Structure 1
Amino acid sequence: MTLVADKSILLVEDEAILALYEKNQLEQGGYKVTHVSCGENAIQLVIKEENPFDLIFMDIDLGKGLDGTETATHILNHKEIPIVFLSSHTEREIVKKTESITSYGYVVKNSGFTVLDASIKMAFKLFEANELTKSKKEHLETVLHSIGDGVIATDKYGKVIRINPVAEKLTGWTHDDGVGLTINEVFNIINVKTRLKVENPVDIVLKTNAVVALANHTVLIAKDGAEYQISDSGSPIKDLNGETKGVVLVFRDITAEYNVQSQIAKQANMLNNVLDAVIGTDFTQKINYWNKAAEKIFFWKSEEVIGKNILKVLKTNYSNFSEQEIIEKVNLEGSFIGEAIQEAKDGSLRNIEINLVLLNDEFELPSGYIFVARDISDRLKALKQIKESEAKLTQIIESAMDAIISIDKSKKIILFNGAAEKMFGYESNDIIGKPLDQLIPESFRNQHDKHIDQFGKTGVSRRAMGALGEISGLRSNKEEFPIEASISQISVNGETLFTVILRDVSVRTMSESKIQKLLHEKENILKEIHHRVKNNMSSLFTLLTLQAKSQENHSVQHILYEAAGRIKSMIVLYDKLYHSETDNSVSIQNYFPSICSEIVSIFPKNVDVSLNILEEPIELNAKLLSSLGIILNELITNSMKHAFIEIQNPEIRLNISKHKNILSLEYSDNGIGIPETISFQNTPGFGLQLIGMLTEQIEGKIRIDRTNYPKVILDLKV
C-alpha cells in the first residue's frame, strides 16, 4: 500500500464523540489528523498555515456559527485545498449543494473507514480506494466462519437430552438445568421482523423425519432475554432400524455476521449515492460490485456486468500504457491514478479520471481490485473553453491600438503587447522582467511610483483614460513623448497586479495646438467682421437720424425715426454679442435696459424708462433677441409718436417675469392709452402688423390687456 504518513488531515466536526471516532479511524489509517469543532477555528488554522494540511474533512452541519459549506467557501477563497464533506444526509439536493463548492467528495457519516479512506484517496487522485472495506469484509467473514456451533439433542418426544457448552452460552440454559425440558422451553426462537414465534425445527423433523433448516431472520431469545441471530439445521437421529429416536439441532450465532451483512448492505446503499463510479472485481478482474454512478456513467446495469471481466466490459484507452501494463503496475505498486478514455455501452466515449487500487486480504495477499472513476468530460470541455478564451484574449491584447503593459507588485513588467513594442521601441522578450522605470523619464519616476502606490492603497479597481493626467514616456532611443494612461489592478492568488493602457498623444497634442491657433485666428476675424457690421449699421443709423432731423414733414420724420430705431435694436444686439462670453446668446438683464434707453434717446422728447426685470439670469439666443428687440422698438416708437401728446412727465414701463418655463414681457406707458378699436388682429398700421408676425415667428402669444390700465403682454416659452 502507498504510505500516507506524510498526509495531514484537518477534521472539522462539532460532535465530540463522533469526531474522536473519526479521528481515531484516520490516525489508525496512518494519517496525521488535527480536529477542530467549528468553522471559524478551521479558517484560522488554514490561514495561519503553521501546519499545512493536505485535506479537510468537513461536516456540513456544524451547529452554531458557520456551517460546513460556508466554512469551505471561506477556506477556498483563501487557499485551494481538497475538501471532502461529511453529512448524515443523503438527499440529492444536499449533495448538489456541495457540488457548487467543491467536487472532491461527499461522504455520509458512519460510512466506515473504507469510504473515508476511499474519499481521501480520491482527493489525492483516488489513491487506494476502498482497500480497507474489502480487507475488513474478508477478515470478518473468516472470523464468523470460525465460531463453534451450538448443539442440542432431544428424544423422540422433543425432550432435551444434551446441551453442549456453546449451546449453553447461547441459550442461557446449563446442561443440567435444560435436560428433561421440552425443546421449545430451551430453544425459544422468533422471527426478527414480525416478532412472532417460529415453529421449532425439532418439531418439524419429528413430523417429517427429514433434515430441515431454519428460515432467515430467526432470533434466539436466551434465558436472560438476550437475543441472537442464528442459523441452524435439524436432523433426525435414527436407530439401526431406521426409526427416529430423536433429533440433533445444530445452530450457530450469526449475530455478528448478520450485522456485518446489514452494514455492508447499508454501505453499498451509501456508495450508490456517491457521484463517482465505484466498481469492485476479484483478482481475475471479474466484476463483483457496480454502483449506481457506474450505471449512469457507462449505461451498463449492474445485473448486466456482474461476473464479467471488466477489461471486456469497459474498453479503456490509456495515453501511455496498455491495459495489461496498468494491471502489472497496480500489482507492483498497489495503485494507479491517471486519465483515460473509456467506451460506454452505447459506444460513446467518456473522459475518465481513474483510481485503480489493489485489495489485499487479512494475510496481505491480493484478492481483487477497486476501480473508482470520475467523468471529467465536462471539466475538460470547460478547460478547452478557458484555453480558447485565453487565446482570444491574447489576440485582442496583441491587436489593440493602445499599448498594454502589466507589472507585478515589484513594478517589473510581465506583459508587453505589440502596440507597446511599437510605441517604446523594445521587443517584448527584451523588456519582460525589467522594471517599469525603464519606460519613464528619470524626472518623473519618483512621482510615477507614488501614483501607483497610492492607487494600490485605494482599493479602486480602475481609473479611466486621462485620469492620471498627461504624463511622459521614454522610448528606447531616449526620446520623451506625451502619453495618456489608464490604470487598473487585480488580485491573483493574493498578489496585486497592475495593468496600464497607454496612448501616444504626440500627434494629438500638435493637432490641438494648431486647432487652438486656428480658433484664435477665427475669433479675431469674427470680431473684425462684427466690428465692421456694427460700424456699417451705426453709419446707417446716423444717416437716418440726421435725415429725420432735417425733415419738416412730421410723418416722414417719424418714418425715418422708426427705421433708425429698428437698426438701433440690431446695433445694440450686435454690441452685446460682441462682448458676450458665449457664442450666440445674451442675457435679457444685459440687453433690454440698453435697447430701451438707446431707442428712447433717438426721439427728441425726454421720456423716463422704468424697468422691472427678474433677477434670475436668463440667456436667450441672438435670433430670438433680434425679434424681441424689433418688437420692443415698435412698441416704444408707437409710444413716442402717439402716447405723450400734452403729457407731463412721460414714462415707459417694462416688466419682465417668469413662471415655470413661460417668460412674460409686460409693456405700458402713462400716455393717452390705446384706442379700443386697435388690436393686433385688426390694425392698419405696419408696426403692429410687424409685431404680430414676429410674435408668430418666435411662437409667442401677444395681447392687449386694458384691465386697470392699457398694457401689451407677450408670453414666450423659454
Structure 2
Amino acid sequence: MTIVADKSILLVEDEAILALYEKNQLEQGGYQVTHVTNGENAINLILKEEYPFDLILMDIDLGKGLDGTETATQILNHREIPIVFLSSHTEREIVKKTESITSYGYVVKNSGFTVLDASIKMAFKLFEANELTKSKKEHLETVLHSIGDGVIATDKEGKITRINPVAEKLTGWTHEDGIGLEINRVFNIINVKTRQKVENPVEVVLKTNSIVALANHTVLIAKNGSEFQIADSGSPIKDLNGETKGVVLVFRDITEEYNVQSRIAKQANMLNNVLDAVIGTDFNHRINYWNKAAEKIFSWKEEEVIGKNILEVLKTEFLSHSIEEVIRKVNHEGSFIGEAIQYAKNGEIRNIEVNLVLLNDESDLPSGYIFVSRDISERLIALKQIKESEAKLTQIIESAMDAIISIDVSKQIILFNGAAEKMFGYDARDIIGKPLDRLIPEAFRKQHDKHIDQFKQTGVSRRAMGALGEISGLRSNGEEFPIEASISQITVNGESLFTVILRDVSVRTLSETKIQKLLIEKENILKEIHHRVKNNMSSLFTLLSLQANSQEDLSIQTILYEAAGRIKSMIVLYDKLYHSETDNSVSIQNYFPAICHEIVSIFPKNVSIQLEILEESIELNAKVLSSLGIILNELITNSMKHAFVDHANPAINLKITKEGTSIILEYSDNGKGIPESVSFQNTPGFGLQLIGMLTDQIGGKIMIDRKDYPKFLLELPV
C-alpha cells in the first residue's frame, strides 16, 4: 500500500510561478516536494544520492539546456525511479517519445490536482509491482538453482517447462534441450529388479491431483545410459484458484544409500558422523543402534531408547501407508522409501524422509531392520515457496495486457502468455517449443533473426517499447498486423534467454488516420478562431483608443494609451505569428519595426522613429517576443509621457546588435533624459517594475546607461 506521507517528490519545472503552485498543491496533498528549475540540477541531485526521492515529476519543456525527456533518460541510466511527465502538449509524437523512455505516466498541465494525484499514486503502484515481480522471480531462480535435489517442472500436459542443474546432471538433459519435451523422454525410469518401465509420477499426479511418491527400487536411466537409484516425489502445481497447472518432480540420487543398506549393520559405528538419522532394530523392532543424528532429530538420547520397541518410542505417520502396510512391504520387498510426519520427544513435528531396509543374516534369514531418516522440513518449505512464487509469477504474466513471449538461444518459444494467445491466435500448449519464426511474416524472418543475434552481442539487458521501430506479426490465420516491441535478455548457466513484450498497434494506426482528419478540421477551426480573436483584440484596442481621445484629463488619457499600447503589442505579435512560416517564432527584423510604429501611432504626438537593426535574421519564440513587446511598449509610453514636453522634433531610437551569443537592445530618445533618482532598484512607477520582472522571466539583463547620453540597454541570450 502506498503511503503518501512517506513519499518524496522531485519537481523539475522551469516556470517559477507554476512550480510554486504545483509544489503547494502537492504538499497540501501530503507529499514532500523538492523543486529544481532545470534538468542539469535534477541529474546532480540524483547522482549525489543525498535526497532519497521516490518519484520525479518532469516538465518536458525546460527552457535552455536539457529538455525533460533527455533529463529522464540520463537519470534512468543511473537509477531506477518512477518518472511522471508534465506538459502542456498533447501531441501524439510527444507522448510517444515519453513512452519510449518510461511508462509511469503523462499528465497534461492544468488537469487539476485530482488527476495529478491519481497519476502519481498509479505510478507508485506500478513501480512497486515491477519491483515485486523482479524480486520474486530472482528468488525463485535462486532457490531452484541452489536446492540440492533434482527438480523438473511440467505443464498440465506433462511437457517439461523447467529443469534445474541437479536434474540436468542426473538425467543428462540440459535445460534448453529438455524444454517442451514429454516427461517420459527425459525422466526415463524402470524397476531395478524387473527392468520394466515404471509409471511416471507426473502422469500419476495429473490423474490423481495429489502428491505421489516414487516406487521402491526405481532406477533413472540418463541420456548417456548411466543409471541412478533415485527416490522422492511428484506434487501438483496449483494456481491461486486451486486448479492444477502442472507438476513439480523432486528427486535425488540414493544409489549410494541403496548399496549401503545391505551393509549398514556391520558399519554402524561409522554412522555417527552422518546427517541422516540411522536406527537399527532386531526383527522384533527392539532398538539396538541409535546414532547422533537420530538424537538430534528425534530428541531422544541413545541411552533412553536402546532395548525399547521403536514403534513405542517413535510416533510416525507415513503419508501414503499405515505402519503395518510399511512393515509388510519391507518384509516382502526388502525395503521401503517414503515420507512421514514424525513427532519428536519434545512434541515438535518433523517432516522426514524414511528409508526402511530389511536385514538378513548369513543364512539369508531376516534378522532386523535399518531405519534411515532425514529431516526434510526446510526442503518442503522451500518447495512450497517455489510453488507459490511460480504461481504468483505466472499470475502476473498471465494478467499482463501486452503479449509476453520468451525464447531460448535457439529461438524456440518457452513462454507464451494469455495476451499472446489472443494476439496471435495460438494456444500456448501448441506453440511452446516451436520456433519464433511462426509468429513473423516470412519476408522479415531473416532480418528478425539478425536483429536478435546483434542484440545478444551488444550485451545490453533491455531495449524499451518502440526502440525496435514498428514491426510486423503473423497471426495463426495468416493475417499480418503491425506491432511495437521491447526486448530484454538474461543469462542463465551461460545461455541467453530473450523475452519480448509485444503490443498490437493496428487499432492505433487506424486511429492515427482519423486523427489526421481531425487535425485538418481543427486547423480550419483555429483559422476561424484566429479571425475572431484578432477582431476582438482590435475592437478592444479601438475602444481604448477612442476612450483615450475623449478624455480631457491627461493622466487618464495616458493610462488608457498605455493599456491600448500593451494590447497593440499583442495584436502585432499575434498577427506576425499567424503569418510566420516557422513554428511559434518570429524574426526580430519583422517584429520590432512593426511594433514600434504601431505603438507610437497610438499617441497624438508625431514622433520620429530611428531604427538600426542588424541584418542577420534572428528568430525568437513567442514567449520571449511577448515579453519584449510589453517591455518596448513601456519604454515608448514613458518617452511619450515624460520625455517630449515642449519638444519640437521628438525622436525615438532603437538599435539592435549582436555580441557573441547575446543580442543587445539599445533604446533612447532625444527628450529631457532620465532623472538620476530613477533606477530599477528605486522606481516610483509600475512601468519600470514590470520591465524588470519581464526581463528576469526571459533570462535577460537590463540597465540604465547614462554615459554619453541616457539609454536603456537590454542583453538577451539567444
TM-score norm. by structure 1 comes to 0.51
Equivalent position of 1:353 in the other structure: 353
Quick check: 1:633 aligned with 2:639? no
Q: Which moved more, 1:460-469 or 1:638-647?
A: 638-647
Equivalent position of 1:399 in the other structure: 399
> Residues 657 and 670 (structure 1 numbering): CA distance in 2 closer, same or farther, change over 3 Å?
farther
Partners of 1:613 and 1:379 in 2: CA distance? 83
Equivalent position of 1:344 in the other structure: 344
> Residues 129 and 311 (structure 1 numbering): CA distance in 2 closer, same or farther, change over 3 Å?
farther
> Residues 331 and 390 (structure 1 numbering): CA distance in 2 closer, same or farther, change over 3 Å?
same
Q: SS of 2:266's equivalent?
A: helix
Counterparts of residues 32-111 of structure 1 (less than 5 Å): 80=169
Partners of 1:392 and 1:702 in 2: CA distance? 64
Check conservation: 1:278, 1:372, Cα contact below 8 A: yes
Partners of 2:364 and 2:556 in 1: CA distance? 135
Partners of 1:77 and 1:588 in 2: CA distance? 76
Give 1:376 shift: 0.9
Q: SS of 1:126's equivalent?
A: helix
One-letter amino acid of the structure 1 residue matched with residue 631 of structure 2: L
Quick check: 1:441 aligned with 2:444? no
Equivalent position of 1:388 in the other structure: 388
Equivalent position of 2:300 in the other structure: 300
Greater C-alpha radius of gyration: 1
One-letter amino acid of the structure 2 residue matched with residue 378 of structure 1: E
Equivalent position of 1:501 in the other structure: 501
Equivalent position of 1:290 in the other structure: 290
Q: SS of 1:135's equivalent?
A: coil
- CA deviations on 1:10-44 (whole Å, 9 max, x unpaired) are xxxxxxxxxxxxxxxxxxxxxxxxxxxxxxxxxxx
Q: SS of 1:631's equivalent?
A: helix
**Count of aligned positions:** 467
- CA deviations on 1:568-599 (whole Å, 9 max, x unpaired) are 53343224433568876668798557645765
- CA deviations on 1:629-660 (whole Å, 9 max, x unpaired) are 4224324545884597569x974456899999
Quick check: 1:135 aligned with 2:266? yes
Equivalent position of 2:473 in the other structure: 473
One-letter amino acid of the structure 1 residue matched with residue 258 of structure 2: F
Partners of 1:659 and 1:448 in 2: CA distance? 47
Check conservation: 2:666, 2:711, Cα contact below 8 A: yes
Q: Which moved more, 1:400-409 or 1:461-470?
A: 400-409
- CA deviations on 1:55-113 (whole Å, 9 max, x unpaired) are 9xxxxxxxxxxxxxxxxxxx96996579xxxxxxxxxxxxxxxxxxxxxxxxxxxxxxx
Partners of 1:339 and 1:676 in 2: CA distance? 102
Partners of 2:281 and 2:257 in 1: CA distance? 17
> Residues 581 and 394 (structure 1 numbering): CA distance in 2 closer, same or farther, change over 3 Å?
farther
Partners of 2:559 and 2:406 in 1: CA distance? 79
One-letter amino acid of the structure 1 residue matched with residue 573 of structure 2: L
- CA deviations on 1:374-425 (whole Å, 9 max, x unpaired) are 1112211221232233233333333332233344555444444333333333
Give 1:508 shift: 1.7
> Residues 516 and 575 (structure 1 numbering): CA distance in 2 closer, same or farther, change over 3 Å?
same
Percent identity (aligned): 66
Q: SS of 2:519's equivalent?
A: helix
Partners of 2:556 and 2:316 in 1: CA distance? 116
> Residues 397 and 589 (structure 1 numbering): CA distance in 2 closer, same or farther, change over 3 Å?
farther
Equivalent position of 1:253 in the other structure: none
Partners of 1:704 and 1:643 in 2: CA distance? 24
> Residues 377 and 596 (structure 1 numbering): CA distance in 2 closer, same or farther, change over 3 Å?
same
Equivalent position of 1:515 in the other structure: 515
Check conservation: 1:125, 1:337, Cα contact below 8 A: no
Check conservation: 1:359, 1:367, Cα contact below 8 A: yes
Segments of structure 2 that go 5 or more residues without pairing to the other structure are: 1-147, 150-163, 172-251
Partners of 1:306 and 1:613 in 2: CA distance? 112
Equivalent position of 1:483 in the other structure: 483
Equivalent position of 1:309 in the other structure: 309
Give 1:122 shift: 7.9
> Residues 650 and 459 (structure 1 numbering): CA distance in 2 closer, same or farther, change over 3 Å?
closer
Quick check: 1:624 aligned with 2:627? yes
Q: SS of 1:345's equivalent?
A: coil
> Residues 566 and 623 (structure 1 numbering): CA distance in 2 closer, same or farther, change over 3 Å?
closer
Equivalent position of 1:422 in the other structure: 422
One-letter amino acid of the structure 1 residue matched with residue 475 of structure 2: R
Quick check: 1:126 aligned with 2:257? yes
Give 1:352 shift: 0.9
Equivalent position of 2:451 in the other structure: 451
Give 1:680 shift: 8.6
Give 1:307 shift: 1.7
Quick check: 1:710 aligned with 2:713? no
Partners of 2:530 and 2:365 in 1: CA distance? 111
Partners of 2:413 and 2:690 in 1: CA distance? 72
> Residues 703 and 441 (structure 1 numbering): CA distance in 2 closer, same or farther, change over 3 Å?
closer
> Residues 460 and 646 (structure 1 numbering): CA distance in 2 closer, same or farther, change over 3 Å?
closer
Partners of 1:659 and 1:295 in 2: CA distance? 87
Partners of 1:581 and 1:295 in 2: CA distance? 92
Partners of 1:585 and 1:572 in 2: CA distance? 13
Partners of 1:623 and 1:306 in 2: CA distance? 101
Check conservation: 1:280, 1:368, Cα contact below 8 A: yes
Partners of 2:682 and 2:413 in 1: CA distance? 84
Partners of 1:643 and 1:657 in 2: CA distance? 37
Equivalent position of 1:375 in the other structure: 375
